[in-house]
């Protein structure tokens, strides 16, 4: 196959530790990551683990995470072709499944990079078949077929599957090596919908079998299903659990064994006294009820500190909690350190994770931040932007 003359797929550059000027950074604990993989693998039993590293490995930095996990997993799952290419260019040789199913005009890049495409309609299958017919790839090309069992997002619907299955004999250049679906309510207290989805998945498998299609691997379980012992087929696809956050069912964590992998810290860069009645931040949304000591930290919503945390979130300083006051701005936020004795310039401020200091020990988890921000922990982690450098460490 001919090599492209110029790169067609570009990505924004991630801030590097060597470039860091601000004290704001995300610390990634690689030993905690390996620990979480061991926990996940134990729950998976005989099922192979395919680690989900989409969205830059949930904000943790996909290349470094992949290098750490590569020897312990069967492969990796990403959402985008661009994410898969980034891993290949970082030297990752393990199988990579591209789950998003959108390849634009770059189907040849999928083959060139030795990636496994997920397909969800007949046209995608024909597009890969055309590569073989044109002599641009050797066949058959192995793909995974996605079935929509109830999430109504991507995947062949149960209504469309019979026609697609009947047409597979016309495209021998493509082989359905894997069959997958996506669970919509795996963390729901009532497992009924998941059971219904898996019943439809079994029905799809049987239908394909009647057309002579017997996939070598079937997979459906995400972190929640895996930890509940549901949908444990040939492979599982954990994401959130690998990074130390347990899915919750009826507000209860499914496991207490996981260790947080990311810690986000910065420092106090300014201190000032605000009199009673004084306003803080854009719009003056917070006014001091007493004479207050206000600190500024160099982290804002452009870095992933949600604006929804204005006047409701917390930061750890000297091992104690300091409330976020005023509106979180793009690059900075203010915190009230009046009740943090000894708070000084250059003191560490922890936005996510644990801190031990002269005033005690505490931790702020992704679940807590999500509750304050009215969102989910997935969004909290993936929102830590690329301009925050990742520092990788082995305890």
Just list the catalytic residues: 54, 282
User: Are residues 257 and 241 in contact, defined by beta-carbon separation less than 8 angstroms?
Assistant: no
Cis peptide before 114, with omega less than 30 degrees from 0?
no
Task: Tell me the longest C-alpha to C-alpha distance in the chain.
Answer: 78
Classified as helix, coil or strand, 48 is strand
CA distance 20 to 121: 45
Q: Enumerate the β-bridge partners of residue 77.
A: 52, 97
Residues 6+ positions from 274 with CB-CB distance below 8 Å:
280, 288, 291, 292, 293, 294
CA distance 13 to 207: 45
Going by DSSP bridges, is the β-strand pair 174-181/217-221 parallel, antiparallel, or unpaired?
Answer: parallel
Among candidates 361, 287, 286, which has minimal Cα distance to 321? 361
Among candidates 301, 366, 291, which has minimal Cα distance to 327? 301
**CB atoms inside a 10 Å sphere around CB 213:** 17
Measured CA to CA in angstroms, residue 269 lies from 40, 130, 156 at distances of 40, 59, 53
Going by DSSP bridges, is the β-strand pair 75-78/279-280 parallel, antiparallel, or unpaired?
Answer: unpaired
The residue behind tokens 């985008």 is: 80
């Amino acid at each position: 196959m001919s090599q492209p003359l110029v790169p067609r797929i570009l990505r924004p550059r991630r801030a590097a530790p060597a470039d860091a000027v601000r004290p704001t950074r995300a610390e990634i604990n690689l030993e905690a990551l390996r620990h979480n993989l061991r926990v996940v693998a134990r729950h998976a039993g005989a099922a192979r683990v395919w680690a989900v590293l989409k969205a830059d490995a949930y904000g943790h930095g996909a290349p470094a995470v992949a290098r750490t996990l590569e020897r312990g997993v069967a492969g990796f799952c990403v959402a985008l072709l661009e994410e898969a290419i980034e891993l290949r260019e970082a030297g990752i040789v393990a199988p990579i499944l591209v789950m998003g199913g959108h390849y634009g005009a770059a189907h040849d890049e999928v083959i060139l990079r030795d990636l496994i495409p997920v397909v969800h309609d007949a046209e995608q299958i024909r597009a890969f078949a055309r590569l073989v017919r044109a002599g641009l790839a050797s066949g058959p090309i192995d793909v995974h077929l996605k079935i929509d069992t109830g999430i109504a997002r991507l995947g062949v619907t149960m209504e469309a599957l019979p026609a697609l299955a009947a047409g597979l004999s016309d495209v021998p250049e493509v082989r359905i090596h894997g069959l997958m679906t996506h669970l919509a309510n795996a963390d729901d207290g009532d497992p009924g919908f998941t059971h219904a989805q898996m019943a439809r998945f079994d029905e799809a498998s049987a239908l394909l079998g009647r057309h002579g299609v017997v996939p070598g691997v079937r997979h459906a379980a995400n972190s929640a299903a895996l930890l509940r012992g549901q949908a444990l087929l040939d492979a599982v696809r954990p994401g959130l659990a690998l990074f130390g956050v347990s899915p919750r069912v009826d507000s209860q964590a499914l496991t207490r064994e996981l260790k947080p992998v990311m810690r986000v810290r910065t420092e106090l860069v300014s201190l000032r006294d605000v009199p009673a009645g004084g306003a803080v931040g854009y719009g003056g949304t917070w006014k001091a009820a007493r004479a207050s000591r206000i600190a500024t930290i160099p982290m804002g919503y452009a870095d992933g500190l949600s604006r929804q945390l204005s006047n409701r979130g917390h930061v750890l300083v000297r091992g104690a909690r300091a409330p976020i006051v005023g509106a979180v701005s793009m690059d900075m936020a203010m915190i009230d350190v009046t009740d943090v004795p000894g708070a000084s310039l250059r003191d560490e401020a922890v936005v996510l994770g644990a801190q031990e200091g002269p005033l005690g020990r505490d931790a702020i988890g992704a679940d807590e931040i999500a509750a304050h921000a009215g969102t989910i922990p997935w969004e909290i982690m993936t929102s830590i932007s690329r301009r925050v450098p990742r520092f990788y460490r082995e305890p």
